[in-house]
A and B are shown apart, each in its own frame.
Chain A
Amino acid sequence: SYVLTQPPSVSVAPGKTARITCGGNNIGSKSVHWYQQKPGQAPVLVIYYDSDRPSGIPERFSGSNSGNTATLTISRVEAGDEADYYCQVWDSSSDRYVVFGGGTKLTVL
């Protein structure tokens, strides 16, 4: 089965840039999607197809994907960006199923 690896936590000061990684075998050949989840709330899609932003998501959120690592970048971090972030892919192997990373807690210092 396909495994996605995320760092458990990332800390950043307000106004700085946060980078959250998602590692997987040849993940660059897959489309990666990212979700933001605040405490007690459902996840919200913030990036799809590696780097596209849904309507209503600030331009401060961007994504990239190459080789064995996908990255969610949050520029000019705000206190309201503090949340858990999950990457996700579709595993098109014989099992054909959705895979989530373990999640990264973003702390705004």
Chain B
Amino acid sequence: QVQLQESGPGLVKPSQTLSLTCTVSGGSISSGSYYWSWIRQPAGKGLEWIGRIYTSGSTNYNPSLKSRVTISVDTSKNQFSLKLSSVTAADTAVYYCARHIAVAGTDYFDYWGQGTLVTVSS
């Protein structure tokens, strides 16, 4: 059973960079043809996909966030990470990591982390 766990600071100052890590257990992050994604959810609002990475390092980002997002992978640690620069209060949200299946022209998420709340405030 694959499990994902987000970690990182719960409080980030405006204009700084938000950094989160997702640790995958129960299987190798490199096994199978999976992508790994970050998704966020502001309080009381819907889900927003941030971006995905393949274990080769290939990435795709939400066009609305692309200029500020970097997703990377460390296969030796079975982890992937998110960096979001120049944050504002609008970036306050619960951030989820998820396993991202991309097959036959479509994508979906079959395993999710529990989520971690990141607040942007001075």
Contacts and interface: CB of A to CB of B under 8 A. Distances in A.
B81 interface: no
Contact of A98 (B37, B46, B114): B37
- In this complex, the interface size class of chain A, counting residues with CB under 8 Å from chain B, is 20 to 34
A49 B49 contact: no
B114 A42 contact: yes
Given A1-B63, A97-B60, A45 B49 contact: no
B106 A97 contact: no
Interface residues of B, number: 24
A90 B62 CA distance: 11
B21 to A, nearest CB: 17
B2 to A, nearest CB: 13
A41 to B, nearest CB: 8
Contacts of B107: 90, 98
Given A102-B46, A103-B46, A45 B62 contact: no
A42 B96 contact: yes
Contacts, number: 63
A48 B46 contact: no
A100 B46 contact: yes
B113 interface: yes
Contacts of B114: 41-42
A31 B63 contact: no
Given A100-B48, A101-B46, A42 B105 contact: no
Contacts of A31: 104-106, 108
B106 A54 contact: no
Interface string A33-53: 101000001111100110000
B65 to A, nearest CB: 10
Interface in B33-84: 37, 39, 46-49, 52, 60-63
A97 B65 CA distance: 11
Interface of A: 1, 30-31, 33, 35, 41-45, 48-49, 54, 86, 88-90, 92, 95-103
